[in-house]
Amino acid sequence: MKINEVLSKGCIQVGLDAKDKQDLLEKITDLAMNSGKITNRAAVLKSIMEREKIMSTGIGKNICLPHAKTEYIDGPVAAMATLKTPVDFHSLDGEPVNICFLLLGKENNIGMHLRLLSKISRFLNNDEFREKILNSKTPDEIINLFESVDE
């Protein structure tokens, strides 16, 4: 499955303003609501927060990749934001994040969820790709970047 099959323009925001980790997770969940695939926002946010309690999804290089498996979606959902100001996300490397990519998967389709997480992580860990994301001015530019690398 390609990234753009789960990430739509309406679920991308450039220059998101978040004051802390909690605020960022709430706002990225709200952005994911634009997919029309989330049936229960509160339950989805709770799943994301429960996953964060296990271990921060701040994966380093100023990236956070919050994710959860839930029954409250109609298929895989993604949302992405670049941040106006970096936020402390209790990342593994101790650095604040300026890119947030949320991925939600169905509980009964763990394989696809893990493959998408791996693909997103690989793209965002590429320094050149990440720089292009941060320099993007519109959701269209971000969609085009993913299309250019996601064969």
Kindly report the number of other CB atoms within 10 A of residue 36's CB atom: 12
Sign of dihedral through CA atoms 22, 98, 60, 1? positive
pTM attached to this predicted model: 0.95
Q: What is the mean pLDDT of residues 7-14?
A: 96
Give the CA distances from residue 82 to residues 45, 68, 69, 107, in Å, rounded to whole numbers and listed in that order: 19, 20, 23, 27
Helices (H), the chain: 21-33, 41-54, 110-125, 127-135, 139-149
Candidate from 19-23, 92-96, 109-113 with smallest mean pLDDT? 109-113
Which domains are seen in the chain, by residue range? Answer: 3-149 (3.40.930.10)
Arithmetic mean of pLDDT over the chain: 94
95-132 pLDDT, tens per residue? Answer: 999 999 999 998 887 788 888 888 999 999 999 999 99
Q: Quick one: pLDDT band at residue 62, thresholds 50, 70, 90?
A: very high
Q: Could you give the 3-state DSSP secondary structure of residue 112?
A: helix
What pLDDT does residue 137 have? Answer: 97
**Share of residues in the chain with pLDDT > 70 (%):** 99
Secondary structure of 39-75 in the HEC alphabet? CCHHHHHHHHHHHHHHCCCEEECCEECCEEEECCECC
